[in-house]
Each structure stands twice: as structure tokens, then as C-alpha cells.
Amino acid sequence: MLTKEEFSRVQERTAEMFRQLGVVLTPEEREQIEVADFGLGELERTGLELVTYINTDRYCAKDLVLFPRQTCPEHKHPPFDGGPGKMETFRCRSGQVFLYVEGEPAESPQAVVPEGSEPYYTVFHEIELNPGEQYTINPNILHWFQAGDQGAIISEFSSTSRDDLDIFTDSRIKRQPEVL
């Protein structure tokens, strides 16, 4: 749970990361920066900041911001409405991202699972994304990701996004933020 003051500070920090990268946000986009703390009360370790530019019944475009070593927890995008579920392409714009998907586990993963949440991270096939690199995640595939030491900005191009349907490995996760 975040206070309004914390929420505003995180929005400003996120907007500053966009400014440093040279990405211009409209005042409306700036006000609508989503802060996902996943209900765990540890935003610096487990969280994600997002700007959704468009999300229709056909496609979606977002930018995802991760603070240094911040982690988006393990989840998948299940089938819905007779479709296969969300397919998404992550393109790293700045920083470094360690993306983990189903497959052969990395011998020495570069990301560090948030302390106390180890049982909820089960996939460790590592894809390292640096600026200009991208990776496509098929529907209904478990995945999670973490920024490197400098934080990261990722552009996401996907089919329709239904965040409310995402299935998280960690049952403690609350996808919609609570702001006091």
C-alpha cells in the first residue's frame, strides 16, 4: 500500500527517467503513470512503473520502468475470450534487463530473487536485454524480469493487455495498487 505522497514521488522519479532518456510525456501521460507495488509493500525490490499509450481489443503499447534491481514478479498471461492470451515483445530502451522464461535454467542467474519471495520464482532461463535488444514472450508462458544496477526502460508491444487476468506464482500479489 502506498501513500499519496509516495505515489507522487514514484511518478516523478519515473518521469525523470523518461526525461533523461529523451522521451517526452504529455501532462496527461505524466499524471497517469501507473505504479504497481503488487501489494507487497516493497516497491524498491518488487514493483513496476508503467505508461500505457494505447490498449485496444487488438493491440497494446506501453513503456515499463524499473528502478535499479527492481523486479516484476513471476506471472503469465492466460488465454481469455477464446484467444491464446497476451503475446508481448520487450525492447530494451535503456539500462539492462534480465528476463527469465521457461526453459533451460541459467547456471548463474544475474538477477537476485527478492529476499523472502524465493518460493515464488520458478523459471530461470535467462535472456539479457541491453538497449536495442528485444525478446518476444509467447502467451501463457511464465516469466519475470529485473533491471540491472542502473534501472531500465522497456517498450512493450503486445496483443490486448488484460492485467486483471494475469496469473502470478505468488498468491500474495495484488495487481491493482492501493493508494491511501
The pLDDT assigned to 176 comes to 72
From CA 119, how far away is CA 115, in angstroms rounded?
A: 10
Residue 153's SS3 state is strand
Task: Evaluate the CA torsion angle 105, 106, 107, 110 in order and state its sign.
Answer: negative
| Amino acid making up residue 38 | F
| pTM assigned to the model | 0.95
* Structure confidence by residue, pLDDT tens digits, 22-55: 999 999 999 999 999 999 999 999 999 999 999 9
Which CATH fold would you assign to the domain 4-168?
Jelly Rolls (2.60.120)
Please determine, for residue 178, whether its predicted confidence score (pLDDT) is greater than 70: no
Tell me how far apart the alpha carbons of residues 132 and 126 are, in angstroms, rounded to a whole number: 17
pLDDT, residue 2, reads 87
Q: What is the pLDDT of residue 111?
A: 98
